[in-house]
Amino acid sequence: MASGDQPDNKNRPYSSLIVDGVQKAAARAMLHAVGFSDADFAKPQIGIASTWSNLTPCNMHIDVLAEAAAMGAEDSGGKAITFNTITVSDGISMGSPGMRYSLVSREVIADSIETVVGAQGFDGFVAIGGCDKNMPGCAMAMARLDRPSVFVYGGSIQPGKEGRDVVSVFEAVGRHAAGKISDIELKDIEATAIPGPGSCAGMYTANTMACAIEALGLSLPNSSAQEAISENKKRDSRAAGEAVFRLVQAGIKPSDILSREAFENAITVTIALEGSTNAVLHLLAIAHEAKVPLFIDDFSRIGRRVPVLADMRPAGKYSMSKLIEIGGIQPLMKLLLEKGLLHGDCMTVTGNTLAENLETVAPYPKGQKVIRPFSNPIKKESHLVIMRGNLAPGGAVAKITGHEGLHFTGSARCFHGEEAALEAILDGTVTDGDVVVIRYEGPRGGPGMREMLSPTSAISGRDLSSSVALITDGRFSGGSRGFVIGHITPEAFDGGPIALIEDGDSISIDAESQLITLNVDEAVMEQRKNDWKPPAPYTDRGVLAKYAKLVSSASEGAVTG
């Protein structure tokens, strides 16, 4: 904003440039048509960024939450304007070419929120997200725009019959392929796993990122731990509208909240909850937008002192609904703060510090089993293991919960793309001792870095998760479990070592030393490198081609700007 353009009203630094003065009569005329009164032009304008869509259960109810947020903003004295951005469904597109658009959608969401808020001159905004990429996309836009803003999580789905969820269906496909369940049993699981609105029920990517964003301070306390269809979630949405108005009045922006210490808080909470590997990718991307220095090795540094405490799906027993029942993540954060593992002086969207928010939080009820005590953790240090070695010199991310062991050596079985690997897993080609190598699925080579829930679930469904490892330059769903390593960089499309593996090569994975090693002589690798030729790009036009041209490596958050 040029110095000569500074408005007189400090609480309306952006909207006044759009609607004040004789020369803005045409803009006011347009806004009269969408419901503005003369009095509204003097109010702070609050955008409500809604990801509503009926294409996925995660987002089908968000229109109602957007209405509640708008009411909160207007009852506080602002003028609310609701607009939509996109979503795509990871669960629906998983295992198909459509999954290439999933991570790309994170960038589109961030770009579209920035575009509307910037073009329309909103003084602040609420961003409401449901499916996996909604959360980081919204947070990236908040960091990039640096205007008073609050994130609202759309909320978790209720568990289906017998505690089922979408991962139950993916794993049932593997059991069906192994002859362990019938067609009728598979159909029953399919029909009863998803009972209604909300995001996937375990500590998968959506719930992980909702919790991480709450720990960052960008959402109101407990926003991450409410069911999608609940009065609590409606109240949370309304309160977010009220909170943004207060933030506009106080001049508190994301740059006042998103410090390096805030990101360390988010990493700590993610580890304690045994959250998704995607949190590494997304927190790096949000930090990039906030211009906060954050690196993949920070996850290892913090992980050495933070235990895994949550016994939650996919590796554990409990769904998000059980964590909601005992009070969400606020009591956990209070425990972590008391242990000196959180930075309590970080500012939050309440206008108070994290420590101040936690002062009155009650402890978990006695006898609950979802969150373990520090004296009896699931794992003494982080399950998110940043691995390196001659196979991943730029880094890789493993999710090592302890259930699958800490060491694995096996023979490579290589596949160009996810579909070929899935077919080989389901038809029994993949056997004990194999290291499944899925390549050309990285940010550039995919393009889009597809998630691998279908193959990892098929491995689990065939009871191979303790005897088969899987490595990829792609990603894993938050619902994946087993001995799996993703985000391998450099990716195959860029000629990284993963592109040079051949069937039968010995691969060793050591989670304790954080090494992934291709046991092949350097001279042989050099010859393979000389003989290697990159494949043709997946496409030469459209959003995927633009993404492939601009995207950074997974170790840098796979960002495009």
Catalytic residues, by residue number, are 477
Name residue, tokens 């993703």: 486
Q: How many helices (H) and strands (E) does the chain have?
A: 20, 12
492 neighbors 498 (Cβ within 8 angstroms): yes
E strand intervals along 113-197: 124-129, 149-153
Torsion of CA 472, 478, 479, 481, to 10 degrees: 50
Name 467's bridge partners: none
Amino acid, res. 316? G
* CA max distance for the chain: 76
Q: Taking Cα atoms as reference points, which of 501, 542, 554 lies closest to residue 525? A: 501
CA atoms within 13 A on the CB side of 498: 34
Q: Is 213 helix (H, G, I), strand (E, B) or coil?
A: helix
List the strands of the sheet with 79-84, edge to edge: 79-84, 45-50, 124-129, 149-153
Say how far apart CA 340 and CA 373 lie, in whole Å. 15
Say how far apart CA 220 and CA 534 lie, in whole Å. 47
First to last CA, the chain: 21
Q: Taking Cα atoms as reference points, which of 407, 360, 353, 400 lies closest to residue 379? A: 400
Q: Are strands 469-472 and 434-439 parallel, antiparallel or unpaired?
A: parallel
